[in-house]
């Protein structure tokens, strides 16, 4: 008898299949006014393969979190300048840190005081002194759970690509970065050609297979810097960071050819699918809305012009 596959395993399996990069190590911020203890906990976590930063002044936490992408914060409860609960309350008011796991590590044993500290929005409590193996296990478990929840929030269930909200948020960030850095980027809208007739001819499940195959092609063939999401239905969106119009067109044409060569099978019948692409670029179009509208207009021209083509 085979074991049922857990969601976690399935996500990891899909990732390994379509993402050639190893998983990022877990990043932990350790805050404790006892400098030596903070450093000791950080070393324990680093020896377990994580990346840990020790801070003894709670006032450094906010600025550090701007540059250090923490998966979790281990926080002392009693510190002279700012207590753990005070610091947690501040973090919870910042949109980017609303779901950041905060675990107290404290010698406080009074359950009522522990609960009060947790009530400001922290996630757990470990009592000092804590066994190194236990510390590693607790941190790994919670950080990985949060990564899975986060991935369920930002990914599309069918294809594993970023969902509509996530890709549009990434486009905003990418445009802001390009403006600041004086670089270019391209935004592409991809739409499967005559997809309704694929569903009508071969059935919805086969249509789903086509969407999954297309998402695999996009993930495998794009660079690590490029972002790809399911815009909705049979439409996909790609952000090509740093690319001008000409290289973007070459890349998308190569993707288009590669996908059109995939052979699908359904009920003993073979068939092929194609897609059309509309591309817009920054700085010609300066905002996410303008980029989306321009790519949409270009896509419309690609469809009108006969499909299976890239239009700018």
Which helix (H) or strand (E) is 145 found in, with range? helix 132-154
Binding-residue pattern over the window 136 to 175 for ligand GH3, x denoting contact by CB under 6 A: ----------------------x-----------------
- Asked if 44 and 136 count as a contact pair (C-beta separation under 8 A), the reply is yes
Beta-strand relationship, 124-127 and 235-241: unpaired
194 is a site residue for ligand GH3 (CB under 6 A): yes
Judged by CB, which is closer to ligand GH3: 186, or 190? 190
Among positions 67-96, residues that touch Mg ion (CB under 5 A) are: 76, 78
Phi, psi (degrees; rounded to nearest 5) at 204: -60, -45
259 binds ligand GH3 (CB under 6 A): no
Q: Does 234 bind ligand GH3 (CB under 6 A)?
A: yes
Tokens of 188: 């592409």
Q: Which of 32, 71, 193, 281 binds ligand GH3 (CB under 6 A)?
A: 193
Asked if 126 contacts 138 with a C-beta cutoff of 8 angstroms, the reply is yes
| Per-residue binding letters, 104-143, with Mg ion (x by CB under 5 A) | ----------------------------------------
Binding mask 85-114 for ligand GH3 (x = CB under 6 A): ------------------------------
Q: Which is nearer to Mg ion, 102 or 185 (CB)?
A: 102
The residue among 33 and 235 lying less far from ligand GH3, judged by its C-beta, is: 235
Number of residues located near Mg ion, criterion CB under 5 A: 8
Q: Which residue among the candidates 138, 234, 270, 311 is catalytic per the annotation?
A: 234
With respect to ligand GH3, which residue has the nearer C-beta, 56 or 199? 199
Residues contacting ligand GH3: total by CB under 6 A: 16
Question: Closest CB to ligand GH3 belongs to which residue?
Answer: 207
Q: Judge whether 278 and 238 are in contact, CB under 8 Å.
A: no
Q: Cα separation of 218 and 259, whole Å?
A: 9
Block residue for tokens 């270009």? 298
Among positions 175-214, residues that touch Mg ion (CB under 5 A) are: 191-192, 195
CA neighbor of 38 nearest in space, from 67, 24, 64, 58? 58
Short-list 73, 56, 223, 45, CA closest to 146: 73
Q: Rule CB under 6 A: is residue 199 a binding residue for ligand GH3?
A: yes
**103's tokens:** 């675990």
Q: Is 285 in the site for Mg ion (CB under 5 A)?
A: no
- Is 59 catalytic? The answer is no
End-to-end Cα, the chain, rounded Å: 54
Residue 227's DSSP bridge partners are 239
Cα–Cα dist 119/276, whole Å = 52
Binding residues for ligand GH3 (CB under 6 A): 158, 191-196, 199, 204, 207-208, 211, 233-234, 303, 307
Catalytic residues: 234
- Residues engaged in binding Mg ion (CB under 5 A): 33, 76, 78, 191-192, 195, 234-235
């Amino acid at each position: 008898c085979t074991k049922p596959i857990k969601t976690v395993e399935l996500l990891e399996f899909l990732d390994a299949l379509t993402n050639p990069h190893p998983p990022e190590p877990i990043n932990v911020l350790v805050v404790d006014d006892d400098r030596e203890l903070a450093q000791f906990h950080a070393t324990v976590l680093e020896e377990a393969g994580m990346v840990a930063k020790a801070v003894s002044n709670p006032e450094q936490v906010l600025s550090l979190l701007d540059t250090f992408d923490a998966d979790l914060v281990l926080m002392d409860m009693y510190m002279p300048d700012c207590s753990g609960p005070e610091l947690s309350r501040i973090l919870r008011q910042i949109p980017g840190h609303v779901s950041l796991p905060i675990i107290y590590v404290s010698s406080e044993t009074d359950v009522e005081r522990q609960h009060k500290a947790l009530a400001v929005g922290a996630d757990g409590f470990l009592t000092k002194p804590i066994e190194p193996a236990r510390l590693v296990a607790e941190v790994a478990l919670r950080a990985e759970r949060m990564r899975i929840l986060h991935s369920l929030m930002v990914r599309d269930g069918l294809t594993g690509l970023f969902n509509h909200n996530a890709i549009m948020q990434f486009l905003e960030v990418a445009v802001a970065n390009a403006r600041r850095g004086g670089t270019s980027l391209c935004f592409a809208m991809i739409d499967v050609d005559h997809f309704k007739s694929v569903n009508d001819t071969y059935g919805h499940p086969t249509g789903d297979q086509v969407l999954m195959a297309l998402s695999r092609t996009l993930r495998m063939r794009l660079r690590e810097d490029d972002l790809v999401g399911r815009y909705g239905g049979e439409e996909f969106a790609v952000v090509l960071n740093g690319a001008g119009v000409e290289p973007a067109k070459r890349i998308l044409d190569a993707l288009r050819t590669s996908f059109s060569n995939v052979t699908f099978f359904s009920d003993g019948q073979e068939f092929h699918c194609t897609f059309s692409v509309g591309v817009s670029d920054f700085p010609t179009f300066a905002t996410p809305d303008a980029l989306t509208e321009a790519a949409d207009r270009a896509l419309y021209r690609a469809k009108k012009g006969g499909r299976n083509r890239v239009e700018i």
